[in-house]
Amino acid sequence: MKYFRLIWKNVWRKKIRTSLTILSVFVAFLLFSLLSAFSFAFRGGVDVADAERLIVIHKVSLVNLLPMSYLNRIAATDGVASVTHATWFGGYYQEQRNQFGQFPVDPDAYFAMYPEFNISTEQFEAFKRNRTGAVVGQELATRFDWEVGDRIPIQATIWSRTDGERTWEFDLEGIFSTDDPRGSTAIMLFHYDFLEEARAFAKGTVGWYILRVESGADPVQVAKSVDLLFANSPAETKTSTEAAFAQSFTKQFGNIALIVMLILGAVFFTLLLVSGNTMSQSVRERINELAVLKTLGFGDRTVLGIVLSESIVIMLIGGLLGLGLGWILVQGIAKQMAAFLPGIFLSPGAILGAIGLMIGAGVLAGIFPAVKAMRLTIIEALARA
């Protein structure tokens, strides 16, 4: 727009003041990107959950185990396309703080259920052939510097072996990855048969079932049918969509989203004060010039627009810089924390929201001074000079 030069020059009238204001905006939006990326992680993978996968757990709590016999009964239920199982192994690698998910599974069925996992056919076949074999996700391999062929000892905290040992050793046969940056692969998969054979107790049980709904079937209905199957049995079930299941965890942490919003609220409130102050000082200093613009024929609303644009420009400069740095940092932080808190991600939605905020905050910070400028009577303003 042809007024841009004027707007730009006005923005930089007082270089130090503008720079400091821009820096405040920068910090605010840097915080916004970091906090929203964290908040996203706390949604527990809700956004990557497959709408057609359901999770079946023991009704009393996830910690209780389900009988293996349920597998065929679930498979036979109307609307169920396929079903498989997994169990929480709960061990650690070398030190107690190196905890991550290890799941004994049925390899073919599990990978079919989770097509988003990519693994080379070669590695997968090697894994299937080796009873004590295991595959791990790329994030885990990177974190612990594992290579195919390594022997990985896992200390079990729950599952002691029939031979009394607490250490379970696995041969790393493959490394898998996922294409979705929001998904996490910080897990290890091994053979259920191996667990079953070697564990000292709870034989014939699994932690939970995962089933895929037939296309066209209503997930809610299918979930109800499955739970009905096992109602009034010693091990009642609770079936929910993957998204709901993920959410049930994050909800237990507390209302993280609310906390983040409150913090950001405080940050942006302060930001508006700072920018508002800058804008009103800026207008106060230029009453004369604004009157001259009107004298030259610039309309009241044009003057309003010019002042508002200055405010928005300041927000955009600081905000885009903050968002940019935030984005870079999130990549790094996400990698570092992948095993503890997977899914740290600055979503496109958050970015759009941030830009909207920049414009909104620009308007809010500048509106009072801009209206003042708009309402200026030329004669009074010039007489003041």
Partner 1 sequence: MSGILARLSGVSRIYQKGKEKVEVLHELDLEIPDGDFVAIMGPSGSGKTTLLNLLGGLDKPTAGTVKVGDAELSSMSNSQLSRWRSNHVGFIFQFYNLLPVLTAHRNVELPLLLTNFSAKERAKRASIALDIVGLGDRAKHYPRELSGGQEQRVAIARAIVSDPSLLLCDEPTGDLDRDTADEILKLLQVLNREHGKTIVMVTHDAQAAEYAKRTLHCDKGTLEAKEAA
Partner 2 sequence: MRAINQMLAVTWLNLRNLPQRVGSSFVAVIGVAAVVLVFAAVLSMAQGFERTMITAGADDTAIILRDGATSELTSGMSNEQVLIIADAPGVLKDGDQSVLSAELYVIVDVKKISSNTDANVPFRGVQSGAFEVRKNVKLADGRMFEEGKNEIIVGRAAQQEFVGLETGTTIRFGQSEWQIVGSFEAGGSVSESELWTDVRVLQSAYRRGNSFQSVRVKLQGDSSLEELKAALDADPRINPDVFTEKEYYSGQAQGLTQFIKLIGYPLTILMSIGAIFGALNSMYSSVSVRGKEIATLRALGFGPFSILFSTIVESALLAFVGGIIGGAVAFVVFNGFQVSTLNGPSFSQVVFDFAVTPDLLVDGLKAALVIGAVGGLFPAIRAARLPVAQALREL
Binding site for partner 2 (CB under 8 A): 16-17, 20-21, 23-24, 27-28, 30-31, 34-35, 38, 59-64, 90, 92, 96, 99, 155-158, 160, 166, 232, 234, 236, 247-249, 251-255, 262-263, 266-267, 269-271, 273-274, 277-278, 280-281
| Chosen from partner 2, partner 1, none, partner binding at 278 (C-beta under 5 to 8 Å by type) | partner 2
**Cβ(213)–Cβ(160) under 8 Å?**
no
Residue 219, C-beta contacts closer than 8 angstroms, at least 6 positions apart: 51, 52, 54, 213, 241
- Smallest distance, partner 2 to C-beta of residue 333, A: 10
By CB under 8 A, which span of 6-14, 28-36, 250-258, 358-366 interacts with partner 1? Answer: 6-14
By CB under 8 A, which span of 2-10, 61-69, 106-114, 157-165 interacts with partner 1? Answer: 2-10
- Smallest distance, partner 2 to C-beta of residue 109, A: 27
Q: Return the DSSP state at 225.
A: H
Q: Toward partner 1, which CB reaches closer, 53 or 286?
A: 286
**Cβ(74)–Cβ(229) under 8 Å?**
yes
According to DSSP H, which parts of 199-241 are helical?
219-229
Query: Is residue 10 involved in binding partner 1 (CB under 8 A)?
Result: yes
| Chosen from partner 1, partner 2, none, partner binding at 347 (C-beta under 5 to 8 Å by type) | none
**Cβ(286)–Cβ(336) under 8 Å?**
no
Instruction: Count other C-beta atoms under 10 Å from residue 211's C-beta.
Output: 27
Residue 247, amino acid: Q
Q: Toward partner 2, which CB reaches closer, 266 or 352?
A: 266
Which token pair is 371? Answer: 């209206």
| Chosen from partner 1, partner 2, none, partner binding at 6 (C-beta under 5 to 8 Å by type) | partner 1
Rounded-to-10 torsion of CA 158, 163, 165, 170: -90
- Smallest distance, partner 2 to C-beta of residue 75, A: 24
Q: What angle in degrees, to the nearest 10, is found between the helix axes of 256-285 and 348-375?
A: 30
Query: Is residue 6 involved in binding partner 1 (CB under 8 A)?
Result: yes
- Smallest distance, partner 1 to C-beta of residue 32, A: 31
Overall size of the chain counted in residues = 385
Which token pair is 256? Answer: 């993280």
Which token pair is 156? Answer: 């079990």
Considering only residues 276 to 315 of the shown chain, the ones binding partner 1 according to CB under 8 A are 288-289, 292-301
Closest of 190, 227, 19 to residue 91, by C-alpha? 190
| Chosen from partner 1, partner 2, none, partner binding at 225 (C-beta under 5 to 8 Å by type) | none
Instruction: Count other C-beta atoms under 10 Å from residue 19's C-beta.
Output: 13
Q: Kindly list the residues in this chain that would bind partner 1 in the complex (CB under 8 A).
A: 2-3, 5-6, 9-10, 12-13, 288-289, 292-301, 378-379, 382, 385
